[in-house]
Amino acid sequence: MGQIVKRETVLADGRDLIYFDDADTTLGAERKADARSLDARPATATMRQDPLTGEWISIAAARQNRVFLPPADQDPLAPATANNPSEVPDQYDVAVFENRSPSFGPDLSEHYSLDELSAIGLGRTLPSIGRCEVVCFSPETQGSFGSQNRSRARTVIEAWADRTSALSALPGIRQVFPFENRGEQIGVTLHHPHGQIYSYPYITPRTQRLLDSVERFDGDLFQSILDFERGSERMLLAGKHWTAYVPFAARWPIEVHMLPNRHVPDFAGTTAEERDELAGMYLRLLRAIDGLYDTPTPYIAAWHQAPVDVGRDEIRLMLQITSPRRAADKLKYLAGSEAAMGAWIGDVLPEQTAARIREALEKVAEPS
């Protein structure tokens, strides 16, 4: 088997397109150019500050007209054909490109200070600088990360690491967030197996709260969590480099966390051996979650990474998989307490969820 190869090019409107070829790829080195005539990219969106919370909301109106559940022969993430001039002009294994209708970017001309971002005022606006990328896991028109083979999963992980490093180095970027939305119940608008990477000009609200917890905790928070969960009945998988478990205070009916066994702030800091093990463990975990019911489970798979310039010695790379599915035909909807007050009420004991996922894991073969 060879090595994963990265090939960089640009789309017709100047957006970056990057191919990552599997280590066992059957594709050649050449790729067709993008032959489309495209309109100019939309202007960078504007962030507005909510003075009640200090949070910034990006008003990205260009996203309102994005493609919604197209038929397979018009899939904008599939390799282009004569009848489907898609976003990817040629065959690929994994493809990463700048989103055509981004929530942040493409402008990167400014850099906001912490004081500028944290000050509170009325009518405050700032350009939504940053970058949003789409990560196509496969040229197939149906599927998810969990439906890929181990070689392809490893290629996607390599792409996450590469893009985390590159995006973190861009001016004005404070945090990089790879994620996958799966299922129409989550709000997915394309069935194509893909994820996204958001690069924010600020530290996200969830991470700001985490930084506060790190400061108030007596000791190494992430190592302590790992030690605590390893000794619990919520444990799911323990590898040489990674550990997966259902968290003690799970919010969602299905919620799984995974941590590296050593301190690593983001994907860029992982070793080849850690990425190799993750490819198999992550696939097995997602397939077990799908095995809980007769139909695929909707989820958000969120890779929380340390901010670019703070908390890197304290915040550890962490996967959080959450699903609203509380039964075969029932979903958890955020009611008043959760949606309005942020005060969560769990529907299922985390220990029961862990037991069910362990049973499902026993039926999942080691990914090949």
pLDDT for position 62: 80
Q: Which CATH superfamily is domain 207-362 in?
A: HIT-like (3.30.428.10)
At a CB cut-off of 8 Å and minimum separation 6, what does 279 contact? Answer: 150, 153, 154, 157, 367
At a CB cut-off of 8 Å and minimum separation 6, what does 156 contact? Answer: 20, 94, 135, 137, 145, 148, 195
Q: Which CATH superfamily is domain 5-202 in?
A: HIT-like (3.30.428.10)
Note if the pTM is more than 0.75: yes
pLDDT for position 1: 64
Could you tell me how far CA 56 lies from the centroid of its own chain? Answer: 20
Element (H, E) at 181: strand 175-182
pLDDT for position 15: 98
At a CB cut-off of 8 Å and minimum separation 6, what does 353 contact? Answer: 246, 250, 253, 254, 255
At a CB cut-off of 8 Å and minimum separation 6, what does 227 contact? Answer: none
Element (H, E) at 300: strand 299-304
pLDDT for position 64: 75
Per-residue pLDDT tens digits of the chain, which is 368 residues long: 689 999 999 999 999 999 999 999 999 999 999 999 999 999 999 999 999 999 999 999 888 777 888 999 999 999 999 999 999 999 999 999 999 999 999 999 989 999 999 999 999 999 999 999 999 999 999 999 999 999 999 999 999 999 999 999 999 999 999 999 999 999 898 999 999 999 999 999 999 999 999 999 999 999 999 999 999 999 999 999 999 999 999 999 999 999 999 999 999 999 999 999 999 999 999 999 999 999 999 999 999 999 999 999 999 999 999 999 999 999 999 999 999 999 999 989 999 999 999 999 999 999 99
Q: Which residues are catalytic?
A: 194
Q: Which residue type occupies 295?
A: T
Indicate if 207-362 has the same CATH topology as 5-202: yes
pLDDT for position 67: 80
Angle among Cα 101, 106, 110 to the nearest 5 degrees reads: 145
Domain boundaries defined on the chain = 5-202, 207-362
Residue 274: half-sphere exposure toward Cβ, Cα within 13 Å: 18
- Can you state the angle between helices 272-290 and 350-362, rounded to 10 degrees? 100
